[in-house]
Amino acid sequence: MAAAYKRILLKLSGEALMGDDAYGINQSVVSGIVADVAEVSRLGVEVGIVIGGGNIFRGMAGAASGMDRATADYMGMLATIMNAMALADAFRVAGVTARVQSALKCDQVVEPYIRGKAIRYLEEGRIVIFAAGTGNPFFTTDTAAALRGVEIGAEVVLKATKVDGIYTADPKKDPAATRYATVNFDEAISRNLQVMDATAFALCRDQKLPIKVFSIFKPGALRRVVMGEDEGTLVHI
């Protein structure tokens, strides 16, 4: 059976890399994610990844402790470059070629973001990891995921979370909560469902780019999402 998508943009939060640790990068968690991504890449799906930085530094936390917000945000973006390098190296160990492109210039360590080149890499079957978010303070890596998703012509943004979709209520507090298989953008707004931050959500909605929320920690979930099976929640137009 063929995959449901030809090109996807996967958003991984920094926290996805830390597993049960308090901060930083947990190598065994990273290798698990890499194995899942390598599997869908082998199915012929082109994969772009936007990686967060929350496991290392968040601009809001810096600002809350008295830092200048823009400075703190640049530090947050630098944190995403570290995560991108760790992820790319884990792909190398797994025998998969991944390229990091950064929205902030950091020439000795990673390539700059060049859209055409990123698309070429994808066409060649390489994984492209987009680092440093949008390159601008006051934004998030969710917004970077929406932006890069639109730019590379991805058919879907896969938002990897700890919960396996969007529920009618918090499943940890309410045992009667049920998962939405699909929901449209207007319903997500009227039901006040938290999908992505408002800027990311608005960009996906305007550009008619669907979002699939799924759990990166559920075995086989990424593969099932890519095969178009009933996994996670699809937010559609």
Binding positions for ligand UDP, rule: CB under 6 A: 13-15, 52-54, 58-60, 73, 76-77, 79-80, 133-134, 136-137, 139-144
Residue 23 or 44 having the CB closest to ligand UDP: 23
Residue 3 or 67 having the CB closest to ligand UDP: 67
Residue 159 or 205 having the CB closest to ligand UDP: 159
* Least distance between ligand UDP and beta carbon 200 (Å): 9
Residue 4 or 69 having the CB closest to ligand UDP: 69
167: which DSSP letter? B
- Measure the CA–CA gap between 64 and 176, rounded to whole angstroms: 37
CB 12 within 8 A of CB 54: no
* Least distance between ligand UDP and beta carbon 56 (Å): 8
* Least distance between ligand UDP and beta carbon 138 (Å): 6
- Measure the CA–CA gap between 220 and 206, rounded to whole angstroms: 31
CB 24 within 8 A of CB 56: yes
- Measure the CA–CA gap between 123 and 45, rounded to whole angstroms: 10
* Least distance between ligand UDP and beta carbon 189 (Å): 21
Q: Could you tell me where the beta strands, DSSP code E, fall in the chain?
A: 7-12, 46-51, 98-102, 111-112, 127-131, 156-161, 182-184, 211-215, 233-236
Residue 1 or 22 having the CB closest to ligand UDP: 22
* Least distance between ligand UDP and beta carbon 174 (Å): 25
* Least distance between ligand UDP and beta carbon 229 (Å): 26
Residue 38 or 50 having the CB closest to ligand UDP: 50
Is the C-alpha dihedral spanning 155, 45, 139, 172 positive or negative? Answer: positive
Strand 98-102's sheet: what is its strand order? 111-112, 98-102, 127-131, 46-51, 7-12, 156-161, 211-215, 233-236, 182-184
